[in-house]
Structure formats: structure tokens, C-alpha cells
Homo-oligomer: A and B are copies of this chain.
């Protein structure tokens, strides 16, 4: 069976889940409003909400997730030829989290790639792993995705003065990392085969649906001299997201069914794009299009942790995926409108 062989997976969510009561209390929101309109029940933060102390870096979370994936696969770190790590929120610009993670795992001599990406990042990283293994299928690679929003989470600000758009971000997002060990050939204990891994730009000429800035010394010093901060670091066009994500997800679903030749009734599970808990639930039922596809989501419990999401969904899928069963993965990145997806199939008995 050709494709990318999934040998094991792991994840790392920092600390205890933060519920809506706790978060609403901290942000001065109504938890009922969060439950009803957002539908995300819990999320995890790498920063302590009371002290403001950063307890985990992205590197910490990615290393924990990778360690667990290697243990799950029964793979020694010395077997790993490359790492592809996807994130929108690296700990620093240099060195990369991918290189530091590889060093912590003892992968001397390995190739360490870091992809800058959003919600399509895990699939971009899987597509690269697929290409790297196609040439050398005997090798094993590590795909990691994660995000940490600590740097953009200003806990000392007056949340009562924030506009609703900015408040929503604090409710939607969460921190975490996921990892999978992949190979170019099946091994004893292979969990699933990923096929037709693709991602493509799908919004020609459209303005970005999301922007996330970073600041340098010049902006920081300028703000200090003038006493005024620059514009908001995170901006989203929620109307555009609500309008375009379902369109792109449907197009991706149809492409995957056509490319795989799978009759829809042979698919058992759907891993839908992860937005808010509420939008994801609605989108999943639209995308099932009348078929008995069981949705596999995580965002209502993990919050939107970007590049980790697809890997966390895969981790939840595997125990449910009986021999020979099939699933579809769909992801949409609203930053510059990318649609992405892949097929998943469990080995036959």
C-alpha cells in the first residue's frame, strides 16, 4: 500500500484545561455567552493565567509530543532521519524550534525543517514528509505541529476595554502540540496510511482572513518613545472566515473523494476544519452530506491550537479506526486561504 505510513502519535497540552467559568472570570466575560456563541468548552495555556509566568515554551510542548509519538511507535530517536515542524508562533526567529527539538531528542545529523504556517500547517508538514520519504522509503521522519500564544497574550491589560473581536480571540485560541512518526513503508504495528496529502492556495486576489504580526526592536523602541502601542497584533475577518471556510472545505472533500475514487459510503470518519466549537459542529454536519461519517474534532476541548489540530484529531481517530476503515481529513487556513486535506485508511487486519 503506497502513501505515508503513520507509525505512532503523541500530543502535549499544557497544564490543566481552562474552563469557560475560569476564563470568563479572568476576562470579565459571561461564560454563558461563551458557551452559546463560541461553543469551546476548555483550552490549555502555556502561561499561568494568575502569575503571567510562561511555564512551557513551544519547544517544550513539541519535545513532549515528539517523545510520546516515538514511544507510541516504538521507534528509537536514532532512526529518525528528519523533522518537519509546523507553527505560526515560533519561540524565536532563530534558532528554530525544529532544530532545538531535534537536538533535545539527540537527532545529531538529522535534517530539521520548520514550516511557518497556520491551520494547514500539519498537512503541509505531512506533504513534505511524504515527498522526503518517497525518495528514501526506508527512512523514518517526525512530523510535529504546535502553537503557543503566550507572546501575544497580555494578561495585564484591561480586558473590559477590548473590542469584541479581540476578546473572542482569547476564548478561541489555546496552546498545544501534536506529533506523528511516519515512514515510507509499512512496519509491524503501522496504524494507518495517509494518501493524497495536498494543500493549495484557494483565494486568488482575496485579502487575508487573518493576520498575525510580530514586532521588532524598531517598533518596540518607537512605541516606547511615543508611549503608544502599534495596532492590534491579531486581526481576523470573521465574516469572511464564516463564509469561505465551508466553501473551501466542500471543494477539498470533493477533490479527495475524486482523487481516491472512494465511494462516500465507504468512509467512516470525517476530521473537519477546526474553528470555534460551535462552527466546527455545524460545519461537520454540513460536510457529511447525508452520509454516516462520524466527525472527529478536538477544538471544543483543546481550543484552536493551530498547527497542532490535525495531529490531535488523528490521535483521536486512531483508536476508532477499525482495520480497513477510511477517514477524510479537511483543513482550511484563513490567513491567505489555503485548503488542505488527505485520506486515511487503516491497514486490513
Beyond A214-B214, A224-B224, 8 additional pairs, beta carbon < 8 A: A88-B94, A93-B212, A100-B336, A108-B202, A111-B124, A152-B217, A153-B217, A154-B218
- Contacting pair A151 B219 (CB below 8 A): yes
* A211 neighbours in B (Cβ, 8 Å): 92, 94-95
Q: Does A290 contact B (CB under 8 A)?
A: no
Q: Quick one: given A92-B213, A99-B335, A210-B95, are A201 and B152 in contact (CB under 8 Å)?
A: no
Residues of A with Cβ closer than 8 Å to B?
88-90, 92-96, 98-100, 102-103, 106-118, 124, 127-128, 131-132, 134-135, 150-157, 198-205, 208, 210-225, 227, 229-230, 232-233, 335-336, 338
Cα–Cα distance between A95 and B276 once the two chains are bound (Å): 20
Q: Quick one: given A109-B201, A229-B221, are A116 and B134 in contact (CB under 8 Å)?
A: no
- Contacting pair A115 B112 (CB below 8 A): no
For this chain, the copies found in one complex come to: 2
Q: Please pick, from B114, B117, B128, B198, the residue contacting A117 in the complex, using a CB distance under 8 A.
A: B114
Which residue on chain B has the smallest CB distance to residue A157? B221
Q: Please pick, from B92, B112, B208, B216, the residue contacting A152 in the complex, using a CB distance under 8 A.
A: B216
Q: Please pick, from B117, B203, B214, B219, the residue contacting A96 in the complex, using a CB distance under 8 A.
A: B117
Which residue on chain B has the smallest CB distance to residue A129? B131
Which residue on chain B has the smallest CB distance to residue A127? B111
Q: Quick one: given A93-B212, A200-B109, are A99 and B233 in contact (CB under 8 Å)?
A: no
